[in-house]
Amino acid sequence: MRHGPSQKSDMHHLVETQQFTRESLKELFVLADALEGKREESLKGKILASLFYEPSTRTRLSFESAMLRLGGEVITMENGRESSSQSKGETLEDSIKVINRYADIIVMRHAEVGSAARAAVVSDVPIINAGDGNMGQHPTQALLDLYTIQRELGREDDIHVAFVGNLKYYRSPRSLAYLLSKYKNIRITFISSPELRMADDVKAHLKENGVPFTETEDMVAGIRDADVVYQTRIAKEWIKNDVEYEKQRGRYIITRAVADSMKEGAIIIHPLPRVGEIEAEVDASPHAVYFRQVGYGLIVRMAILKTILGNG
């Protein structure tokens, strides 16, 4: 696997956030800035295969919109567990070898951790990991999360990030934590129940890179001096026990009063969808940026496509 985008792309597959350097992130985000509000023909003649074995709204549609805004074309498959030849017993590797014949780049979401890496091994065309398993990674979500932080706060160093809620079964905060380790004077607070704590591999990475973090069950205290509050969905599809799900779902709710307790200039982000963990009244708060975050995601994914396909 090649690593790190540059103006002449040397990145082939995008599987995990560890591929990026601070410099390559800067280049990607400068390109995203330049693409805001733009439509062009730089990827005319290129075809993106949107291959989703799990449900998605924002990731799938933003990648498809990004490709169309760059002049490319899209072929798509949703609900792949039922609609693809996987339901007939075809291996992921064989599916990828086939789709190689149809497209110039593949964006893939899959239920199994490591599936994107497996696809990359056998694919001649670039693979973009759009989420692999509940404890895998979602690198493009992390990239747009980091871009949102930089756009909203105006800086990338000296930031305190509080991750709230479902930290064990959520690939997006895992991916962002890896990215944050590339910056200076980052502090992290993990706020969760004992059952949903951040996994040890991420904490080990932070320790290795000198990023201080604390763990607490107290949300109000944990977010008091945070610059970024990263709220997450408890995710019923990953917590199969109904009693446990209901217990966890009501534990960390951002109300308007909670939002008003945050320090001036702090922001609330969320990968969405939300299912009650941020109350609707919070939307009018100056701290709420999660719907602007969706728009940032579009231009970041445009920049990713241009970079990987050699037009960055």
Considering the candidates 3, 12, 58, 292, report the single residue annotated as catalytic.
58
For residue 37, give both structure tokens. 């509000």
Tell me whether residue 109 is one of the annotated catalytic residues.
yes
88 is catalytic: yes
Q: What are phi and psi of 130, to 5 degrees?
A: -100, 25
191, 214 Cβ separation under 8 angstroms = no
β-strand partners of 213 = 188
* HEC readout, 84-131: CHHHHCCCHHHHHHHHCCCCCEEEEEECCCCHHHHHHHHCCCCEEEEE
Q: Among 17, 59, 232, 307, which one carries the catalytic annotation?
A: 59
The sheet with strand 186-191 has its strands ordered as 213-216, 186-191, 159-164, 228-231, 267-269
Q: Hey, what are 3's tokens?
A: 């690593």
Q: Would residue 138 show up in a list of annotated catalytic residues for this protein?
A: yes
Query: Looking at 13, 60, 109, 151, which residue is catalytic?
Result: 109
Q: Is 58 a catalytic residue?
A: yes
- Active site residue ranges: 58-59, 88, 109, 138
